[in-house]
Structure 1
Amino acid sequence: MSHFQSGILAPVPPLARHLFFAIESVDALGQLPAVLTALLPLVDGDATVVGLGESLVHALDGKLAGLRAFPALSGAGVDVPSTQHALWVWLRGDDRGELLHRARAIEAALAPALKLVQSTDSFRYKTGHDLTGYEDGTENPEGEAAIAAAFVGDGAAGEAGGSFVAVQHWAHNLDHFAAMPQDEQDKIIGRRKTDNAELEDAPESAHVKRTAQESFEPEAFVLRRSMPWAEGGAAGLLFVAFGCTLDAFEVQLRRMAGLEDGIADALFRFSRPLTGGYYWCPPLRDGRLDLRAIGC
C-alpha cells in the first residue's frame, strides 16, 4: 500500500539539514540504480524526506508527468535563478550532531554516482517565524485540505501519495529591513508584525496580495515548510513548498516577479532568491520509497 512521506505533512522540526546532489558525470549513470538501492534503507519519509530531480529520473530511463526543471525568470527588475539539482534530501531532527552523521551516511551511500554539491542547515525561529519576525506559512492549508494541496490523489502505480516540491534559498538584507519603520515593514509583508493580522489597506505589492492562494484561477494552494538559515554573515529563508503539481507554486512565483501585471512582490526590496529547484517526492510502499512511477 502506498502512502506519502509523512515528514512533508508534519510541522517543521527544530533543526534540519538540506542536501543537494548532482550526478557526478555521465560515466556514473550505470551506478545510479545501485546507489539508489543503497539509499532506500536510510530513508523513512519522516525524519528523512527525499525528492528526485528531472535529470535523475531521465538518467534512470524514467519519465514522470508534471516533473520539470525549475524555470529561471526575469521580471519587473528582479531575477529568479534556477539551480536545479538531481536529488534533494531533507533531514529533520532536533540534534545537530545526529543530523551530521545521517548526512554523512547518505553521502557515503550515494557516492560515487551522486556528489554532494550543497548542504544547508536550517532552524525553527520562535514558533515558526521568518528572521524578519513575521509568522511564516499563515495561510497554509490544514487537515484534509493540506493533503489535497500537497499530494497526488491518484494516478499510475507509484504516483498516488507522491508530492512535487519547490526549494529555494532566499537571502535577506536584514539590516536594510530593520532600518525601515514598522509601518513600512508591515506594508511589505501585508500583515502587522504585532498580531499577524492582514492589513485591509495593504498595497498591491504586499507579499500576502502577491501570493493570495485563493486569488488565482484555479486556486493555487501549496503546503509550505520553510525554515530560516544563517551561515557566516548571510541569512534568510530556505523556502520549501509542496504541491500535487508544480503549477500552483509557479503561478505564485510568476506573479511575485511581476510577470502577471508588472508589479513585483515587495519582498524583493530586502530579499532575493539565490537558488531554485523542483523535485518529485515519491510515496512510500511497505515503508520504503516507491519508485514504480519512474520504472524502478
Structure 2
Amino acid sequence: MTEKNWDRVPIDAQSIDAPLSQAAVFLVVTVAGDRAALANVCVTLDGLDDLVKTVGFRDLSARLSCIVGIGRDLWDRLDAGKRPRELKPFSPIQGGVHAAPATPGDLLFHIRSERPDFCFEFERILLDGLGVSVTVVDEVSGFRYFDARDLLGFVDGTANPTGLDLPASALVGDEDADFAGGSYVVVQKYLHDLGAWAQVPTPLQEEIIGRTKIDNIEIDDDDAPRKSHKSLATIVDAEGNEHDILRDNMPFGRPGQREFGTYFIGYSRYLWVIEKMLQRMYVGDPPGAYDRLLDFSTPHTGTTFFAPARPMLQALAQAAQEKLPTAR
C-alpha cells in the first residue's frame, strides 16, 4: 500500500518504525482518579525522553526506546479538546466457539532494547516515578526466540510492511491531520497450550498457520474450504486494496509455571483494520469457520490505545500540567 502524501507527514513516531528488538517489556497501567495522580503521570510522560537517555547512554548499541499509548478514557481526562478519530475502548468479540475479552488500560509502555537489563532498568525507574499514581494491570517481558519464531515454532511478523509501506500502514496521515504521525495500538496477551499443539501433525499445523514451518513459505489456501490464520488476518477493502499493520509480537513464558505465550501488539494507521482482522479470526469467514489457531491459543487481555507522535505526546503532557495541581 502506498500513500502519495507521506512527504508532508511529520514522521516523529516514538520509534514505532524502529527495527524489531531482542527484548521488550509490555506494561499496561491504569491511572488513579485524583487530579494529583494525573498531574504526576503528566510530569513522567513529559520526562520520558530524558529517562531513555539516562538509561540508554550506558550502551547506545542497545537501542533503548519506549513507545507510549494512551487509552480513550485517559485521553479524555487529559482534556485535550479533541481525540483521534477512531480512538475507542477495545470491543470484546464473541465468536461461536472463542471470545476475545476487553481488559482495562489507560497507558501502554512498550519498552524495547537489544538488552533485557536495559528494559528492566527503564521500567524500574519509570514505575518508581509513577508511584501510587498508577496500578499495574499487566506486565509481560518478551524475548526474541531463535530466528524470530513464536513458541509454536513458526516465524512471526513475516508480513510486516517495510520501506515507505511501513509509515503508510502504521501511521495516521492526512485523513486525520491533527493526529498525523500517530498510530492506533491494540494489544492482546495469548497463552498457548503447547502440549495440545505438539500433538498436531506438522502438515496440519502448516495448514492452520498458512505457512510452512521450516522455511516459512506462504501457502496458497484461497480455494481451501477453511482459511488459515494468515488468510484471515489479511484485510482487503471494498476497492481491493490490502491494508497491512505493523506487528511487534514477542514470545514470553515461565516454564516452571507452564506458561507459554505470545504478546500480540499491532500498530495501525486505521483502527478498523485490526478490528476487522480480529472479527474474521473469531467469527470466521464464512461465519463459523473461525481461526483454528484459537483452539490452541487463548487471549487473556485486550486493550486499545493511541500512540501520538512525540511532539504531540509532550504537548499533551505539558498542557495538562498547566491545568492540574503540582505533582511533586
Using structure 1 for the length normalisation, give the TM-score: 0.90
Q: Which runs of 5+ in 2 are unaligned?
A: 1-8, 53-62, 321-328
Question: CA shift at 1:23, angstroms?
Answer: 1.8
Cα distance, 1:142–1:94 mapped onto 2, change above 3 Å: closer
Question: CA shift at 1:58, angstroms?
Answer: 1.6
Contact (CA 8 Å) 2:190, 2:299: kept in 1 or not?
yes
State the secondary structure of the residue aligned to 1:110.
Answer: helix
Cα distance, 1:171–1:50 mapped onto 2, change above 3 Å: same
Match of 1:12 among 14, 17, 20: 20
Cα distance, 1:291–1:276 mapped onto 2, change above 3 Å: farther
Opposite residue 231 of structure 2, the aligned amino acid is: K
Cα distance, 1:281–1:82 mapped onto 2, change above 3 Å: same
Question: CA shift at 1:70, angstroms?
Answer: 0.5
Match of 1:219 among 242, 255, 260: 242
CA-to-aligned-CA distance 1:44-87 (integer Å, 9 cap, x gap): 59611110111111222234121110011101211110113000
Match of 2:292 among 243, 247, 266: 266
Match of 1:275 among 301, 306, 316: 301
Please name the residue that 1:60 is paired with.
Answer: 78
Cα distance, 1:126–1:206 mapped onto 2, change above 3 Å: same
Contact (CA 8 Å) 1:156, 1:293: kept in 2 or not?
no
CA-to-aligned-CA distance 1:226-250 (integer Å, 9 cap, x gap): 1111133111110011011211000
Select the structure that is richer in helix.
2
Question: CA shift at 1:5, angstroms?
Answer: 2.8
User: How many residue pairs are counted as aligned between the two chains?
Assistant: 291
State the secondary structure of the residue aligned to 1:49.
Answer: strand
Cα distance, 1:97–1:170 mapped onto 2, change above 3 Å: same
Match of 1:170 among 184, 190, 194: 190
Opposite residue 152 of structure 1, the aligned amino acid is: V
- 236-245 or 196-205, which moves further after superposition? 196-205
Please name the residue that 1:239 is paired with.
Answer: 264
Cα distance, 1:107–1:49 mapped onto 2, change above 3 Å: same
Contact (CA 8 Å) 2:90, 2:303: kept in 1 or not?
yes
Opposite residue 13 of structure 1, the aligned amino acid is: S
Opposite residue 20 of structure 1, the aligned amino acid is: V
Question: CA shift at 1:293, angstroms?
Answer: 10
What is the correspondence of 1:151-166 to structure 2 with a 5 Å cutoff?
151-154=171-174, 155-157=176-178, 159-166=179-186
Opposite residue 206 of structure 1, the aligned amino acid is: S
Cα distance in structure 1, aligned partners of 2:136 and 2:187? 16
Aligned Cα RMSD in Å? 2.4
Question: CA shift at 1:257, angstroms?
Answer: 0.7
CA-to-aligned-CA distance 1:65-122 (integer Å, 9 cap, x gap): 2111001110121111011300000111133332222112111222332222221100
Please name the residue that 1:42 is paired with.
Answer: 48
Opposite residue 267 of structure 2, the aligned amino acid is: F
What is the correspondence of 1:245-260 to structure 2 with a 5 Å cutoff?
245-258=270-283
Cα distance in structure 1, aligned partners of 2:281 and 2:275? 10
Matched, 1:139 2:147: no
Cα distance in structure 1, aligned partners of 2:192 and 2:145? 15
Question: CA shift at 1:129, angstroms?
Answer: 1.2
Please name the residue that 1:207 is paired with.
Answer: 229
CA-to-aligned-CA distance 1:177-198 (integer Å, 9 cap, x gap): 1111111111110111122112
Matched, 1:228 2:251: yes
- 52-61 or 28-37, which moves further after superposition? 28-37
Opposite residue 149 of structure 1, the aligned amino acid is: S
State the secondary structure of the residue aligned to 1:136.
Answer: coil
State the secondary structure of the residue aligned to 1:111.
Answer: helix
- 168-177 or 45-54, which moves further after superposition? 45-54
Question: CA shift at 1:29, angstroms?
Answer: 3.2
Cα distance in structure 1, aligned partners of 2:167 and 2:306? 16
State the secondary structure of the residue aligned to 1:34.
Answer: helix
- 71-80 or 202-211, which moves further after superposition? 202-211
Please name the residue that 1:90 is paired with.
Answer: 110
